[in-house]
Amino acid sequence: MSKPRVLIIQDVLKNYRGPIYSLIGEQVDLTVGYTKGSELKESSYSIMSLPYCAIGPFTWHNGFKSIINQYDVVVFPPYLRMVRVAIMPLLPHKPKLISWSIGVHASYTRPYDLSRKPDFKDRLSQSIQNHSDACIFYMPEPIEYWKKYGSIDEEKYFVAHNTVEIAPLTTTELGPRTFILFVGTLYKQKGVEELIKCYALAKGKVGDLPPLMIIGDGPEKRNIKRLIISLDLEDDVVLEGAIFDEIILKDFFSEAILCISPKQAGLTVLKSFGYGVPFVTRRDAITGGEKSNIKDGVNGYFYDTEEELINIIVRTKTHPEEFMIMSDAARNHYLTEASPEAMAQGVIDAIMYVLKN
């Protein structure tokens, strides 16, 4: 029996998605289509550039109907800026359609917030989801959100926890936990200066602390260097620069007590958990929903004030044993709920559902 032909559409294909597509491609005849660019190479799937024209911030895909009609299932993001893609379920179509998203609109300027009421854009996206044959969310919380704000067919909703692949890791490779870690591009929005200032204040309370290791590069690097010097932290805070080699990153994560990113909690949450590193962030941090993986006090911490962050940093010296317990919880969450295999299976389950219905 031939495998079902499946097209997954994305605006840009990122490297970190490659392992997920490979796993899906083992189960179906998969093509991944992109609009604006691809960082991927073909594996157990094919890659296709989708022709389009740009109209301001919007895109319109040309010859789209003839493309999608070649497939049994099309998985797509209900992004309103990708006009022809988003309105697919509202027009006559041959393939089964699955929307795949975080559930509500969010960006750097619009926090991911399931406590607010849906606005017009959210309602438009939900209408697209309602007209789709199935829907995939990155986490289960948006399902409850839309049950609260409208009638949905819960049977057709699936969860594929957003995650990333990590380097192979054995328990023997987990070294002694010796430092505090930040990983990410050095943007002002991420709050690295807040982290450094709180680290300095924590050091003032207890004296020596585990060193703070900052991995990343970006426009704030010069300001961060100046801050480190002004706080007399040259011997305590290490700027490692950007590191993209996963094997090298594994070495850092496997020795980290915890990973702190004050104002943004994206896929680094899952990478940290994969290596057994608890994650700390502000409760209102910018996120695509990834921070919902954090269970406060179990596999990481949320904080609201700088004083709370200072106290968390202090505890890396005064109560290091609690972070070892949290480390096990973080690793277990990744392995059981947020591994690449679990994410791929969520997508495969949705595909098999629409093919049967």
pLDDT grade for 171, boundaries at 50, 70 and 90: low
- Name the class of domain 5-163+339-356: alpha beta
Per-domain residue ranges of the chain: 5-163+339-356, 171-337
Structure confidence by residue, pLDDT tens digits, 65-110: 999 999 999 999 998 899 999 999 999 999 999 999 998 877 666 7
Over 70: is that where the pLDDT of 39 sits? yes
Where does 171-337 sit in CATH, by number? 3.40.50.2000
- Whole-number average pLDDT of the chain: 93
- State the pLDDT at residue 115: 83
Over 70: is that where the pLDDT of 335 sits? yes
Residue 347 and residue 5: Cα distance in Å, rounded?
14
Cβ-defined contacts of 195-199 (< 8 Å, 24+)? 195/260, 195/261, 195/262, 195/309, 196/224, 196/227, 196/228, 196/231, 196/233, 196/237, 197/227, 197/231, 197/306, 198/306, 198/309, 198/310, 198/313, 199/233, 199/236, 199/237, 199/313
Question: What's this model's pTM, rounded to 2 decimal places?
Answer: 0.90
- State the pLDDT at residue 324: 92
Over 80: is that where the pLDDT of 42 sits? no
- State the pLDDT at residue 252: 95
- State the pLDDT at residue 286: 86
- When pLDDT is averaged across residues 239-266 and rounded to a whole number, the result is 95
Same CATH fold assignment for domains 5-163+339-356 and 171-337:
yes
